[in-house]
Structure 1
Amino acid sequence: MADEQDIILSELDDEELVLQMHDDLYDGLKEEIEEGVRILLDRGWQPYDVLTKALVGGMTIVGIDFRDGILFVPEVLLAANAMKGGMAILKPLLAETGAPKVGKMVIGTVKGDIHDIGKNLVGMMMEGAGFEVVDLGINNPVEKYIEALEREDADILGMSALLTTTMPYMKVVIDTMKEKGMRDDYIVLVGGAPLNEEFGKAIGADAYCRDAAVAVQTAKDFMSRKHNKLAAG
């Protein structure tokens, strides 16, 4: 059997190259992904097609295997990092071509909480699914969320907490959004180890997402409903 290193990406035809990139993403090979992206662009591929077919296609497989317990957080972070490498090349080109965006998400860990692995994973997986993600980092007061949602013209707010003591702050953010009359303008997704579906409902979130794969699927579902509503309206 040929050694993995013997594969010369530029010698593969388009279809083989895309499949190889799915494998390379799965294995977290950043340099190979960057090379693959450049080759497809040189062959005249549209940036949006490279994003959806090669990168999002590959991350979808990663997401499914993460959900099913075949892949674990370290492998997913590696895959997401490889994806980021490819995205860095595509981002400026996508902006120029005005490629359709799936949606825009503002994400951050709530005030008093400095845990960010779960949040980072969700952010990376969302980008992997074609969403634009604005990451506010950790320890976010309500003002920071509100300001970012308005500034970024976002569709989705994602909040995470890993401590039972910081969980209730999510309600503070949602209640403030209600007071400002802006709650209905956004899809609010919450997640984090101590949360559950009942808690999500109790604080008025649209959905509780138990992991990054669920978050991506939930966001996609909500966005397609939003688009259908707009189309129907």
Structure 2
Amino acid sequence: MSSGQQVWHTAVPPPRRSSSIASMPRSPSSAGSPRSPGTPGSERVASPLECSICFSGYDNIFKTPKELSCTHVFCLECLARLAAAQPVGRPGGEAVPCPFCRQPTAVPPAGAPALCTSRQLQARMPAHLRREEPVWLEGTKLCCQPLPTTPGREPGFVCVDVGLSKPAEPPAPARDPAPRRGRLARCWARCRDWRRMALVSALLLMLFCVALWPVQCALKTGNLRCLPLPPRPPATSTAASPLGPLTDN
């Protein structure tokens, strides 16, 4: 009976690898913030308080922060210009593509002003810019009626043209002859004033000459009469007639 050599195999568990890299906890604030336009695929971080297209700070009128469906945020004016550049009548022309991720966002019938406003960025703005002013679209112009800064003054309208091409300026209308007549009347009134001044000046000059005339005469002739006295005729001596001879009576 041959005895074979028996070999016993003991199963040794593999060594546990210690993880050298600690897992980093995810910030809870990064879940609800808008996506950064500079890195479309990165984590959601808070966007700066300026538009990534025009680099202008956000406000509550034409630079209102508008959020697209992809959570990228741009100012109202830039999105209105982008919407105006879309072809009319083409499928998808009523949507605005995101300048960074190209995801389309449907434009409401009221235009770009009706897009969703980013309340998160609006809450980080100064207190006087958190109240959004009403802005509407008239053709290719964004219009707003800001409140007057001076009490008692009527509010005015402010418009910004967001169209690609400026409309041709209409020809200058023909001048109405009525303003020309008004100008002639004003010129005539001024001339009449000049004539009145000239007449008063002439009268004053005449009075001045009349007042100084006797003085001039006294200096020249020695008397108040300007005309020199006529020369006196020489005195003629009349010879006494001799008495005739007495006639005898």
User: Shorter chain as normaliser: what TM range?
Assistant: under 0.3
TM-score under structure 1 normalisation?
Answer: 0.25
State which structure, 1 or 2, has the greater radius of gyration over its C-alpha atoms: 2
